Structures are given as C-alpha cells and as structure tokens.
C-alpha cells in the first residue's frame, strides 16, 4: 500500500497530539470550582535538591516502611510509581453539604500502582479508560490510567444535617430528652461492608442527570437502610452499669454517623466520574498556572478569602459561622484570589504572597500607597544594627478612606456600625485638623533601627543583714547592664504640637532640653528617651550620643545600598540580622534551654530574615518573607534537608 506524504504527515501529527494529550499537565483535571489548589512543582524540587538527600530524609523519617509488599520493596523515591517530570496537584471543592479533596499524581511508565498502593481497595467498573477502586468505607475513590492517578476523598459537613428537613430525609435522629430512657439495641461492629458499597453504586447509577456537582444537596438520595450487622467502631462499648440514657445517646450518635458516612459515600460515588474529566477545568484561573516553573517549589492558589474561611470555624459552632458570614462575604468580595509561592533562589528561600482587590477596594487603597519616603532618611542609617523596619503610606488618603473601608468590610453589626464609629473618630480629628493638616503633623513615612547593645549602669536595691540589730538594711548598688538602643525617625512638616507637649513636660519637670535635644523621663530610675527636631524630621532614641551626632552632623552613615533599596522601594520592610541574635541574647542574659542552645548558636551562620510589602500594583497587593540560609550546602533547600537529617539523627 502506497502512502502519500500528506497522509504520513497526518498520522505523525495525530501521534504527536495523542502523546501530548497523554502527557499534558494534570491541571486539565482540576475542576474549575476548586476553592484552592496546591501545585507541587516536582521538576523544580528535583532540580534544586539531590535525590540522594531526599531519599535519605524520607528513609530516616520511615516514609517507605508502610509502602510496598512482599513482592516489591520500596527503598527510594525512584522505586515509587510516580513520575517527577510533571507537577502534582492537591485541590479542594466545597458545597453546603460536603467537601472533596482531590490528589492528582503523575505516574511513570509501566507503573503497578494498583498492586503497590491500592491492593486493599475494592474494584469498581472501569470508566473513561481508567481503572477504579474504592476504599472499604466508600469515602475514598481512586482511578488511574497509564499516566496519572486521581485520589478523591472528603467528608460530609455535620452542620448540614442539623436542618430538620435534611435530617428527616436521611433518617438522622435528634435527641428526645423528654422520653423515658431506654437502651437501644444497636450492635457495635465495623464500617459499611461491600454490600453497602454496592448499594452506593446502585444509587449512583439511578441518579438523575440534572444533578449539579457544585451542590450535593440537589442529589436527593433516600435515606440508606442500615443492615443489622452494621458496624460502629467510633464509640466504645460501656459496661452494663452505665447510665441507660448515656448509652442511648452513644447508640444514637453511632447510627447518625453511619448515616452521614453512607450519604457522603453515595454522593462521592455519583460525583466521581465528573472529576476525572471536568467539563470546566481550572485553567481559566489566571494566576493558578502563571508562575516561575524553574524556581518555585510549591504554588498555592485560593479563589478568595471566603474559600479559606469556610473551613476555619468548626461545625459545632454554626451560630458563629452564620453570624460572621455577612462580614466575611464582604471581606471576600473586597479581597479576591490569593497566591502563595515557595521560591528557591540560591541560598535564600522566599514565601511570596499576593492578593487581588475588587474595583471598589482598589479605588480606596490605591491612593494610600502613593507616598514618597523622605530621602533624607538615607543620611541617618546607622552602621551597626540588629534590625530595622520601615513603613510608608499616605496618611491623608488613609484618613479619607478609612471610614469607607470599615463600612464596606463590616457594615452594620449588632447594635452599631464599625464604619460609623470610624467616621466619628475621624470627624473628631477633623474638628482640630483637616486631613492635609494631619498629614503635615505626621507624614506617614517611618523608619526604625534597633541598634547594637549599649553598656549602661543600672541602680538596684540589695539587702544587708545586721547581726546586732537582726534587721535587713537596704543598700543601693549599681551594676553594668546591656540594653538595645533604637533610632526612630518620621517626617513632620508641622512640629508645633510636639513642641507644645514637650514644653508642658518641662513645666512639670519631666522634660529638660540641652542644645536642642529633649530629655524625657518620668522617674530618675526609668529609661530616658531623647527627642530631636531637624530637617522636618522628628528623631526619637534612647541613645543621647546618637542624636547629638545627628545634631552636629557627626553621624556615621552606613553605605549599604541594599538597605536603601529596601527602604525606598517597599511600602513596608522589616529586617532582622539573624547573625546578631546569639550575641544579643547572651548580653541581655536571656536563658536558653539546653535543647535550643545549638540552634541559637547556629544562627550566627545565617543571613537576614526579611519581610517586605510592595503595596499596590496592577490591582494586587504583594509581599514576601525571605530567609538567607548558611552557605554550607549547594543552596537553601539542600541546607534545609541536611538540617532535617541532623535533627533526626539526634
């Protein structure tokens, strides 16, 4: 048979397309309605860490002990059925009646995952080219083909069954305390057997096609019948002398739990096929699949704050859930999708975060971040310090928008509105000053340095025993001590109110002034605070010499360009020099427990911990936390793995 070039090209194209579809990113199987998704970037993790070290950590942790069987022993990650050339996904979907957690894992060629991991699961009919199995209790289903496996599990929401009509529909019994106590004849054995699983499949097969995945309630399943041999292992059997009312309650709870579990198992059986190939997948979410594939190890995306809040309040306090729902919905509306990234950059690990804003919140927030840090601050960066913090916002815009933000987020709650209270406070300030005047009093840019330790002499009271009078006499003594010094500066174009307050302090003999430096103290034994006014900047410190150096232009400025870059390019910066911590703890005399002694001393090898917020940019607020690890290993991730090994070995 003679093939034309076009026919061969067509066959080759189809083969490539088929291969591409088989090896496509598993995000195609993440449903669009997922409330959050975790992407585990296997390629980047393997790239930035050695498989030998990962194996060593997992082996020491005993991760391989319970995997495998007599025919196949798992000794390292290469013996697993997983493929590390594609990302793995963990996601969650929520309804008012239940939640599902899905795990999508890429599989290597020739895998035997059915034998190696799911041999104890019961087989189900194949579907869409996938082999399927179900756990004994029916609450976990798995399906796999040559390239990937889906594990879908979850649970029913207990508070969903608190509704009387729902409870009646599923046979849930409510307590009846007015009835005479009697011991119900329920047997305490095990979880639903294969007959129950078969029942679930029958229910799934006969369910209506109008069922909507996003809401399990629409699938109206009649209450399942519980066989007499039904097992309840969650509640212990109590002796014959136990109170009969209590035993009745135990039996009722056991029965209700079984009904809830069976209901969820039937929902899962019905929904599972729809999760194998969702009609709409999560690729529609812009920031879910948009990240640096080379350096981001783990990528987390959440639809909004509401999706995280939905699981934050336990089922047993539904009144809190309903009471806060209105405020949380407004908060979720104002702050939209959330993105977190764990980033590997040489010897630094970063946690980068961003959150989207709705149009109304964006309109209010945007002008708050429009403020320029005072460039004169760069002259007063100390050469030696333990850490520093900067903050920069437009105080005028903040005062204007604060009441609106509070009203939008909280609205009317209980007997008053948070927005109304905020408006009252703001109006009270406006009586004395308008927003522009307030912004001149305190501009919104602040810079604080925690400096090196300073030796000071402190007075203390000791007691001396007199053998003749048999009394103790107080004796004043002094001792050398160390205290951390600080330097705080902020812009103030109108300093009159501060100077009037200090003048009042002078009249009360709490404040004194020498060469333009104010000395503030309440009692002679208290720590002294000093204040200086210069160049539209107010300086506050507990180190008089530092302010004197600023006043007489003798201040020695650090030349570190990185500090300047962080201060002037971020809305907020907080930096701690970890290498300074051991000496600081030692000088302050802070006791360290023995188990932490080595860890604290090891901090001297670290770099900085840095927290920054970049403020508003393109409809989002962004920030990150970074840790500079020691350079003993090839990169930060490898150092972290080695530290895990060192701690396991102890």
Q: Evaluate if residue 206 carries a pLDDT over 70.
A: no
Q: Are 299 and 39 in contact (CB under 8 A)?
A: yes
Residue 265: the pLDDT is 96
Residue 393: the pLDDT is 87
Residue 585: the pLDDT is 83
CA 40 – CA 42 distance, rounded (Å)? 6
Closest CA to 424 of 394, 402, 439, 396: 402
Confidence of residue 592 (pLDDT cuts 50, 70, 90): confident
The number of residues making up the chain comes to 650
CA 244 – CA 237 distance, rounded (Å)? 12
Domain chopping of the chain, boundaries: 5-161+258-286, 363-491+536-625
* Mean pLDDT within 37-60: 87
Q: Record the tokens describing residue 230, joined without a space.
A: 């039904």
* Mean pLDDT within 235-260: 76
Residue 529: the pLDDT is 94
| Residue corresponding to tokens 């709650």 | 413
Residue 519: the pLDDT is 95
Per-residue b or e along 315-338, where b marks 16 or more CB atoms closer than 10 Å to that residue's CB: eeeeeebeeeeeebebbbbbbbbb
List of residues 6+ apart from 96 with CB closer than 8 A: 157, 160, 215, 216, 217
3-class secondary structure, 166: helix
Q: Evaluate if residue 419 carries a pLDDT over 80.
A: no
Write out the H or E segment, with its range, that includes residue 106.
strand 98-106
Q: Evaluate if residue 87 carries a pLDDT over 80.
A: yes
Q: Are 477 and 502 in contact (CB under 8 A)?
A: no
CA 629 – CA 636 distance, rounded (Å)? 6
The helix/strand count (H/E) of the chain reads as 19, 22
Residue 522: the pLDDT is 81
Q: Record the tokens describing residue 123, joined without a space.
A: 């087989």
For the chain, what percent of residues have pLDDT higher than 70? 74
The pLDDT tens digits of the residues spanning 283-328 come to 989 899 889 999 999 999 998 876 666 555 544 444 444 445 555 5
CA 440 – CA 395 distance, rounded (Å)? 9
The pLDDT tens digits of the residues spanning 146-189 come to 999 999 999 999 889 988 999 999 999 987 655 444 434 433 33
DSSP track, 485-525: EEEEEEE-S--HHHHHHHHHHHHTTSEEEETTEEEE-SSTT
Q: Record the tokens describing residue 602, joined without a space.
A: 């090891």
State whether the Cα torsion 56-60-62-68 is positive or negative.
positive
The pLDDT tens digits of the residues spanning 594-613 come to 777 888 888 999 999 999 99
Between residues 635 and 455, the one the model is more confident about: 635
Angle at 637 between CA 635 and CA 642, to 5 degrees: 95
| Residue corresponding to tokens 């029913």 | 156
Write out the H or E segment, with its range, that includes residue 447.
strand 445-466
Q: Are 298 and 41 in contact (CB under 8 A)?
A: yes
Partner residues linked to 474 by β-bridges: 463
* Mean pLDDT within 451-468: 77
In terms of average pLDDT, the best of 79-88, 194-203, 430-439 is 79-88
Between residues 192 and 85, the one the model is more confident about: 85
Q: Evaluate if residue 483 carries a pLDDT over 90.
A: no
Mean pLDDT of all residues belonging to the chain: 79
* Mean pLDDT within 66-95: 78
For the chain, what percent of residues have pLDDT higher than 90? 44
């Amino acid at each position: 048979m003679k093939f034309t070039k076009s026919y061969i090209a067509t066959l080759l194209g189809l083969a490539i397309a088929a291969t591409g579809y088989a090896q496509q990113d598993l995000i195609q199987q993440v449903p669009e309605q997922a409330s959050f998704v975790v992407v585990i970037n296997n390629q980047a993790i393997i790239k930035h860490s050695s498989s030998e070290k990962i194996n060593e950590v997992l082996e020491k942790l005993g991760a391989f002990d319970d995997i495998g069987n007599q025919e196949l022993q798992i000794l390292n990650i290469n013996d697993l059925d997983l493929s590390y050339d594609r990302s793995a996904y963990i996601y969650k979907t929520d309804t008012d009646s239940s939640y599902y957690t899905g795990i999508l894992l890429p599989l290597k060629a020739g895998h035997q995952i059915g034998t190696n991991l799911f041999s104890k699961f019961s087989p189900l009919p194949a579907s869409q080219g996938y082999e399927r199995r179900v756990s004994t209790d029916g609450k976990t289903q798995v399906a796999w083909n040559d390239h990937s496996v889906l594990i879908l599990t979850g649970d029913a929401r207990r508070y969903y069954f608190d509704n009387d009509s729902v409870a009646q529909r599923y046979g849930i019994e409510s307590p009846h305390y007015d009835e005479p106590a009697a011991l119900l004849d329920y047997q305490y054995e095990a979880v639903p057997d294969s007959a129950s699983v078969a029942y679930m499949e029958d229910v799934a097969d006969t369910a209506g096609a109008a069922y909507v995945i996003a809401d399990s309630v629409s699938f109206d399943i009649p209450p399942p019948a519980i066989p007499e041999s039904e097992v309840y292992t969650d509640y212990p059997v109590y002796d014959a002398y136990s109170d009969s009312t209590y035993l009745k309650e135990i039996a009722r709870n056991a029965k209700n739990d079984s009904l809830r579990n069976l209901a969820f198992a039937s929902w899962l059986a019905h929904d599972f096929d729809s999760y194998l190939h969702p009609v709409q997948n999560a690729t529609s979410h812009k920031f879910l699949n948009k990240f640096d594939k080379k350096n981001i190890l783990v990528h987390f995306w959440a639809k909004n704050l509401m999706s995280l809040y939905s699981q934050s309040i336990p089922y047993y306090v539904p009144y809190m859930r309903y009471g806060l729902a209105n405020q949380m919905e407004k908060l979720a509306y104002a702050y939209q999708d959330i993105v977190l990234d764990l980033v590997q950059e040489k010897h630094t690990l970063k946690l980068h975060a961003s959150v989207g804003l709705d149009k109304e919140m964006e309109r209010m927030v945007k002008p708050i971040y429009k403020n320029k840090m005072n460039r004169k601050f760069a002259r007063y960066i100390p050469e030696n310090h333990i850490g520093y913090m900067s903050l920069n916002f437009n105080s005028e815009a903040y005062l204007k928008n604060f009441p609106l933000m509070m009203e939008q987020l909280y609205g009317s709650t209980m007997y008053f509105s948070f927005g109304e209270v905020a408006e009252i406070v703001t109006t009270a300030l406006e009586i004395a000053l308008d927003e522009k005047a307030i912004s001149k009093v305190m501009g919104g840019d602040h810079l604080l340095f925690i400096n090196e330790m300073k030796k000071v002499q402190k007075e203390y009271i000791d007691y001396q025993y007199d053998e003749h009078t048999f009394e103790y006499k107080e004796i004043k003594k002094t001792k050398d001590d160390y205290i951390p010094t600080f330097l705080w500066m902020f812009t103030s174009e109108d300093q009159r109110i501060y100077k009037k307050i200090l003048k009042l302090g002078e009249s009360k003999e709490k404040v004194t002034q020498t060469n333009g430096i104010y000395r503030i103290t309440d009692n002679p034994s208290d720590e002294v605070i000093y204040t200086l006014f210069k160049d539209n900047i107010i300086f506050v410190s507990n180190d008089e010499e530092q302010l004197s150096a600023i006043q007489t232009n003798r201040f020695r400025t650090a030349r570190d360009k990185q500090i300047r870059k962080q201060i002037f390019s971020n809305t907020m910066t907080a930096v701690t020099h970890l290498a300074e911590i051991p000496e600081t703890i030692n000088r302050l005399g802070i006791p360290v427990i023995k188990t932490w002694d080595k860890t604290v001393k090891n901090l001297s090898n670290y770099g900085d911990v840095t927290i920054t917020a970049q403020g508003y940019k393109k409809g989002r607020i962004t920030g990150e936390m970074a840790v500079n690890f020691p350079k003993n290993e090839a990169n930060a991730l490898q150092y972290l793995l080695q530290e895990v090994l060192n701690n396991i070995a102890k």
